[in-house]
Structure 1
Amino acid sequence: MSDENPKDYASPACMAGQVAADYFDPQAVDPVAAADAARWRRETRAQLLAARATRDAQATDGAIADHLDSVLAARFGGAQGLVVAAYWPIRGEPDLRPWMARRAAAGLRIALPVVTAPDQPLVFRPWTPDAPMQPGRWNIPEPATTVQVVPQLVLAPTVGWDGGRFRLGYGGGFYDRTLAALRPRPYAIGIGLEAGRLPTIYPQPHDAALDLIVTEAGPRP
C-alpha cells in the first residue's frame, strides 16, 4: 500500500515520484505550509524507511497478524462474507501473506489493490494463494485477472501514522483517492509499526483519516 526516484518500487497504493509537486496543496491551502509539509514528509519518510529495514520482521509481522485476527473477530464476526483488501508487501512493509493464505483457506475473500493510472483510485482484484500473478505497475505482483471486486475492509500499509489515524505513505495519495471515491466507504485499517507513530503527519485537505491502526502492540484507537 516511491520517494523521489521513480525507479524505486513502492506499494501499489503510493508512488511519490509519479505525483506532481503541488499535490500536497490540492485545495489551495497556504502554499508555504503545504511546501513545508511536503518537505517534512519526505524527510520523515526516509528516516522511517531506514529504521524499518532493521526491525525484527518475524516477531512484528506475526503479532500484527494475531491482532488483526482479533479485530476481525471482535468487530466483524471474523469478516466471513466480506471482501478484505490486503496488499503485496514491499520495502519492509509488514508481510501479511501468510495471514492472507491462512484466512483465504478458511473462506475469507481476499483482494489486492491495482494501480491503473497515477491519478486514479485503486481497483481491487480477487486473490487466493494459487491465483496466477503478473507484474503490475512498478513490477509489483498483482492478480492476473480483469475481475474486480469492491472491498468492505481495506488494509492500508503505513510508513508512519499519528493519533488522528492519519497515514504517512509513500506520497502517491492512492489510498486517500480510493477512500474518497468508494461508496459506501470501506472500513480502513492502517497496518503499521509502533516505531512509526508520529505526533502528527501534518494532514492536508486531501488526507483521509483511517478508522483504526493495527501495529505489533495491538489496535491503536
Structure 2
Amino acid sequence: MSNDPSDKDYASPACMASEIAPDYFGPVAADPVQSRDAERWRKAERSRLIETREALSASARKAADDAIASHLDTVLAERFGGAEGMVITGYWPIRSEIDLRGWMQRQAKRGVRIALPVVTARNAPLIFRPWTPEAKMRKGLWKIPEPDTAETCLPQIMLAPLVGWDSSRFRMGYGGGFYDRTLSSLRPRPYAIGIGLQSGQLRTIYPQPHDEALDLIVTEAGPA
C-alpha cells in the first residue's frame, strides 16, 4: 500500500478484493467505496497480467497471434458469411498486445473494410478511420499510429484488445474507458469481440455501471 493519504478512503486493500463476493461489485452498483475498491483491484490485476504477457517468448506470442487470427477467420465465416464488404475495426498493437496486423492485411485484400480507432480526446468515444496496407500513417495522441486521413467510418464489427476478461464477457483494458464509452454511444452498436490471451481470464473483473459487456471473446484457445 502506498503512503498516499487517499488510501484511507478504501474499505479494503487491493489484495483482498478477490476474497469479496462477486455480487459486492454488482454491475448496477454505484457506491463510491465499491467503485474505489474495484479500481484498486483492477489496477493491481492489470499490472500483473501485463507483466505476465510481456514475459512471453517471441515464439509464444507468434503462436498466440496465429491461433487467434485463425479463430477470427472461423468466426467471420460462420457468423458473418466471411464479412466481405463489412467494416471491421482492428487496432495497432502496443504493450505486447496480440498482433493482428498481418491478419488485417489479408482481410483487406479479400474485400473486408478495415478501420483503426482514433482517440480525439481523453474523455470522448473513439472514432474510426479507414485503413489499408498502403495507408499513410501518423502518430496519434499517445504516439500510436493512426491513418493519416480525415475520413471516418462506422464499424459493424469491433475488435477490442484486452488485458483481462471474465465469463460474462466484461473486458478489462488499460483503464481509460474508451471502448466502453464508444460501445455505449454507437448506434447501431457494433458486434464487439475482445482479443486477448486465455491467461487473462478472471473469475470476475468486478464490473461497474459504465462497463459494457462484449459479444464474444477470442483467445488462442478459441471463442468464448
Q: TM-score range by the shorter chain?
A: 0.7 to 0.9
Change in CA separation of 1:39 and 1:105 when aligned onto 2, cut-off 3 Å: same
Q: Check if 1:44 corresponds to 2:31.
A: no
| SS class of match (1:137) | coil
| SS class of match (2:81) | helix
Give the aligned residue type for 2:50.
L
Partner in structure 1 of residue 212 of structure 2:
208
Q: Distance in 2 between matches of 1:119 and 1:139?
A: 17
Partner in structure 1 of residue 169 of structure 2:
165
Q: Distance in 2 between matches of 1:179 and 1:30?
A: 23
Q: Distance in 1 between matches of 2:190 and 2:111?
A: 20
Q: Check if 1:111 corresponds to 2:115.
A: yes
| SS class of match (1:178) | helix
Aligned pair count reads: 195
Q: Check if 1:199 corresponds to 2:203.
A: yes
**TM-superposed deviation, 1:28:** 7.9
Q: Distance in 2 between matches of 1:191 and 1:35?
A: 26
Q: Are 2:166 and 2:203, in contact at CA under 8 Å, matched by a contact in 1? A: yes
Q: Check if 1:178 corresponds to 2:182.
A: yes
Once the two structures are superposed, residues 171-211 of structure 1 have per-residue CA deviations (whole angstroms, 9 ceiling, x without a partner) of 00000000000000000000010000000000000000000
Superposed CA RMSD in Å reads 1.2
Give the aligned residue type for 1:86.
G
Gaps of 5+ in 1: 1-26
**TM-superposed deviation, 1:114:** 0.1
Give the aligned residue type for 2:112.
L
Query: Which structure has the larger Rg over C-alpha atoms?
Result: 2
TM-score, with structure 1 as normaliser: 0.87
**TM-superposed deviation, 1:102:** 0.9
Name which structure has the greater RCO, CA cutoff 8 Å, separation 6+. Answer: 1
Q: Distance in 2 between matches of 1:116 and 1:157?
A: 18
Q: Are 2:29 and 2:208, in contact at CA under 8 Å, matched by a contact in 1? A: no
| SS class of match (1:78) | coil
Partner in structure 2 of residue 8 of structure 1:
none
Q: Distance in 1 between matches of 2:123 and 2:34?
A: 23
**TM-superposed deviation, 1:32:** 1.1
Identity score, percent: 65
Give the aligned residue type for 2:194.
G
TM-score, with structure 2 as normaliser: 0.85
Partner in structure 2 of residue 150 of structure 1:
154
Partner in structure 2 of residue 190 of structure 1:
194
Q: Distance in 2 between matches of 1:89 and 1:36?
A: 29
Change in CA separation of 1:118 and 1:28 when aligned onto 2, cut-off 3 Å: farther
Of 47, 68, 75, which residue of structure 2 is paired with 1:71? 75
Partner in structure 1 of residue 22 of structure 2:
none
| SS class of match (1:208) | coil
Give the aligned residue type for 2:143.
N
Q: Distance in 2 between matches of 1:54 and 1:79?
A: 34
Once the two structures are superposed, residues 112-137 of structure 1 have per-residue CA deviations (whole angstroms, 9 ceiling, x without a partner) of 00000011110000000110000001
